């Protein structure tokens, strides 16, 4: 009887661990950087650029700004979705790209 409970507990723990690994593998991140090419021809990071990510297959939108290095990240996005990434910053032309999937690096230079 005691062995039965021990065996059942071990199997339940293994199922929980495996299901959490599978669930975490189904999400990814979108990350990128925004740079503005100056008059000297050298790119410089853009702090405070507005990043909008829209999910196209179901309703969903995410918003953030770049940090002082011009970098941004959205973590925990489902791999299954298709996204549109839109970037806007003072002194730069608006930029957008569609059919993006989670797990991609998206550099933007203007």
Tell me the CATH number at 69: 2.60.40.10
Note the pLDDT tens digit of each residue in 11-45. Answer: 766 666 655 544 445 778 888 889 988 889 898 99
Give the pTM: 0.68
Note the pLDDT tens digit of each residue in 41-96. Answer: 898 999 999 999 999 888 888 899 999 999 999 888 887 888 899 999 887 888 89
Instruction: Let me know if residue 6 belongs to a domain.
Output: no
Q: Which residues pair with 33 in a beta bridge?
A: 71, 107
Instruction: Let me know if residue 15 belongs to a domain.
Output: no
Q: Domain total for the chain? A: 1
Q: DSSP code of 54?
A: E
């Amino acid at each position: 009887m005691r062995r039965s409970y021990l065996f059942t507990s071990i199997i339940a723990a293994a199922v929980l661990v495996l299901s959490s690994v599978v669930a975490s593998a189904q999400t990814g991140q979108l990350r990128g950087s925004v740079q503005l090419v100056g008059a000297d021809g050298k790119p410089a990071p853009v702090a405070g650029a507005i990043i909008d990510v829209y999910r196209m297959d179901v309703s969903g939108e995410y918003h953030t700004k770049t940090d002082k290095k011009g970098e941004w990240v959205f973590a925990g996005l489902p791999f299954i979705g298709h996204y549109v990434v839109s970037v806007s910053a003072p002194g730069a032309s608006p930029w957008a790209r569609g059919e993006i999937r989670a797990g991609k690096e998206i550099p933007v230079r203007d």
